[in-house]
Structure 1
């Protein structure tokens, strides 16, 4: 008997039962040799638009299992994808008829309070990290949804509520354990495999499977000052103009965003915002909560709020506060992002037009304030190059009806085209959806001058491009 899989070159591969059984026998975890429905997965992919089902799934229990799976893929020339948190908007944690390396069982977090370090396995979610670090009032910059995977967010850069004070998730990475394409285990840090360490911080999953991350921790929480006024969406232009003035002088301790949504009728929330089109101005102060309340106060006065849930808030609650907007395997999603050098009146008009015209209630149009610690890092000191623009806009197409796929994807592209007229042309790769444009166009704009060096590191650690189900970098010739 044989099993058919997709090869790394796109051609079919025939594997014997004996070969598959040899891999299964060596794993401490499990090997599934049939395509699985999402409901059978311990951690299904977040975006149901990308439902590619692997022919083989290696559910790894540790680094040794990952080594075996990578060597097996290399030996047989298989197309391989890696699933950490599985939260890729563009479906990069799925593979059709190939080999899926599933790290969901590897979700341990160990905190060293004296050295202020967190050792995090490659399958952990940010909620796992926050749970352990906040017990002792420490944190590292993570995502804004607790269900997001540590690995994907970090390897792509990693924006969160602490970005202006402490930088990207990848900026706080001090060491990584990586299973490379040849099956060897390497430790990447400033002192060991420095080129690999440089590339991992923003270069995506191009260079191997990261089985362990070590992050620098900072004193944050457990209570932080949090701003969350809900304004009528009709006032968005006024809100963005006032927010632009506020962000021009906001201290680096403040990280804020303007999010637009039709807020669902959530039990326990005031009826005045049920099914109401709103602009939510979110803000976090990474410092003394009392001082933070004063500094964040202007965010609560940009218009007349419909409802205001600002106040001292557990940092873990802030980190999970948007979870309900991003349920796993529920929302079909196609996102596009754009950096802006300024928030001009014309840019505000384009953002407002998109927000007022959203084709589905849960579709979001968001404007992020960047700068601070992000821009203090040289764009070429890590693979993540987009550090100078002070703003980013993300158009997050999200809906539930498959019949709307084509129309909403088209809408996202058209509105993004209007915002791009006022932007830098560069994108954030974690906030992109696969489309009919060449993927290379996105990596070119995201990586800029760093793309050349990334190609050289790729050639060193993965010369045959075994790891290509990602925002792929071509090995330099």
Structure 2
């Protein structure tokens, strides 16, 4: 790799005096402000090997950037080596096998646009500007979770560079311990350079759920949603968001500043009069809708719909917890937190979990949370000039909800870093992960993540 030049075979090494250094060290959450000693902008697996070998020789920590979308800014390290994979973003489709080979720097939008050319899709997330690398390694929740599982459940194989600078392939037949670990264990074990992902027939058009209700009906809405999910088919996914509407030009002025509950999702099954009546209409009748834009839409458009809610450059705090039930006391904490939030913009999301993602056993992959029925995600912009106070408020929400949560587990792609959070979430899988970590990364070079210390 070259410091100030680029060839067809080699990427850049960007040092602190480089004109692009500040641009390249920035991630989605503008609250993160770290200064790596060197940024390796990789174009190939050889570049990744070079970067990892350099970091190991110099005894420097490593962070890896795919899309840079993690709340905690895990893509960028302080005084270590940052690997930027964003230009390793190719997507190749094998239509016959229904498999996508995806480089780890690809964005979800890159994957969707290529797979949809063949009427195929793989489960990913709900924001198209997210990188596949961190999403897949940490789980991957999207609209296909009920029908086809999480992103990590659909990894068929991966190529990765280990801490000793070796390029290996992991699958059900090769390095099976690592293959188990990367499906939910995060970036603890090396740098994944590419994935093979299972594809399924999806689109080009799907039924998109898009309804907005008045917040005053919140208790009735969530009671009905709870009942609905007891018999929901795998083909449906349902997300809800509690938020205060901004004064956006695309909204009627009467809606500006109004607190609402948005119910969104996707139905992937065959739409008949019977299925619409059984699975779509109940979601349109949770209360009296303020707006209802439910209807058929392009799958690629649905996958981009939430992009505007997570703009680049905002300063964000957030948290997450899984739940088994929508307990009344737990819901009241969510309602009161939203009503009394000091943050200028805050959202509470409650995602309903069902179907295939919950039929995987807890020890089949590193991703252990397979019995929860709900995922709660809080996000909000910090109070100007008070990141500490904003984080303390977010921590207080987490601590109030923790006693009601499912085994104190969090979605690690949407929560701050913390040893207790990590151990709680992996449960019994943590000890197996620690043993694997000891084998492949005994010096803990890959520590900018929900870190699993070598046993």
Taking structure 1 as the reference length, what is the TM-score of the superposition?
A: 0.90
Shift of 1:363: 1.2
Hey, what's the Cα distance between the residues in 1 that align with 2:227 and 2:46? 53
**Residue 308 of structure 1: aligned partner:** 292
Shift of 1:27: 6.7
**Residue 3 of structure 1: aligned partner:** none
2:322 matches 1:339: yes
Shift of 1:269: 3.5
1:206-226 residue CA offsets vs partner (Å, 9 max, x unmatched): 010000011000111111111
Secondary structure of 1:409 counterpart: helix
Higher mean C-alpha deviation, range 257-266 or range 214-223: 257-266
Hey, what's the Cα distance between the residues in 1 that align with 2:57 and 2:123? 38
Hey, what's the Cα distance between the residues in 2 that align with 1:69 and 1:252? 43
2:453 matches 1:471: no
Hey, what's the Cα distance between the residues in 1 that align with 2:19 and 2:33? 8
Hey, what's the Cα distance between the residues in 1 that align with 2:310 and 2:32? 16
Number of residue pairs the alignment of both structures matches: 452
Structure-2 change in CA distance of 1:402 and 1:98 (3 Å): farther
Shift of 1:274: 3.0
1:411-437 residue CA offsets vs partner (Å, 9 max, x unmatched): 212222222222121111111024xxx
Structure-2 change in CA distance of 1:84 and 1:91 (3 Å): same
Higher mean C-alpha deviation, range 280-289 or range 30-39: 30-39
Contact residue 66 and residue 132 of structure 2 kept, 8 A: yes
2:421 matches 1:453: no
Hey, what's the Cα distance between the residues in 1 that align with 2:18 and 2:214? 43
1:112-164 residue CA offsets vs partner (Å, 9 max, x unmatched): 11110111101111011011111221111111100111010110011111111
2:296 matches 1:296: no
**Residue 420 of structure 1: aligned partner:** 402
Aligned with residue 266 of structure 1, among 248, 255, 261: 248
Contact residue 36 and residue 53 of structure 1 kept, 8 A: no
Shift of 1:105: 0.6
**Residue 376 of structure 1: aligned partner:** 359
Aligned with residue 234 of structure 2, among 234, 243, 252: 252
1:337-368 residue CA offsets vs partner (Å, 9 max, x unmatched): 11111112222222222232233353111111
- 1:123-162 matches, within 5 Å, as 123-162=105-144
Contact residue 165 and residue 252 of structure 1 kept, 8 A: yes
- 1:28-427 matches, within 5 Å, as 28-34=10-16, 40-41=22-23, 44-290=26-272, 293-294=276-277, 295-329=279-313, 331-399=314-382, 401-424=383-406, 425-427=408-410
Structure-2 change in CA distance of 1:441 and 1:273 (3 Å): same
1:271-310 residue CA offsets vs partner (Å, 9 max, x unmatched): 3433322110112112224566441221111111111111
Secondary structure of 1:188 counterpart: strand
Unaligned runs of 5+ in 2: none
Hey, what's the Cα distance between the residues in 2 that align with 1:92 and 1:283? 29
Structure-2 change in CA distance of 1:221 and 1:461 (3 Å): same
2:441 matches 1:441: no
Hey, what's the Cα distance between the residues in 1 that align with 2:73 and 2:50? 24
Structure-2 change in CA distance of 1:35 and 1:333 (3 Å): farther
Hey, what's the Cα distance between the residues in 2 that align with 1:77 and 1:371? 44
Hey, what's the Cα distance between the residues in 2 that align with 1:429 and 1:26? 37
Contact residue 104 and residue 133 of structure 2 kept, 8 A: yes
Secondary structure of 1:48 counterpart: coil
Shift of 1:190: 0.5
Contact residue 208 and residue 267 of structure 2 kept, 8 A: yes
Hey, what's the Cα distance between the residues in 2 that align with 1:402 and 1:35? 30
Contact residue 5 and residue 12 of structure 2 kept, 8 A: no
Structure-2 change in CA distance of 1:255 and 1:474 (3 Å): same
Structure-2 change in CA distance of 1:323 and 1:22 (3 Å): closer
Secondary structure of 2:386 counterpart: helix
Contact residue 332 and residue 402 of structure 1 kept, 8 A: no
Contact residue 122 and residue 213 of structure 1 kept, 8 A: yes
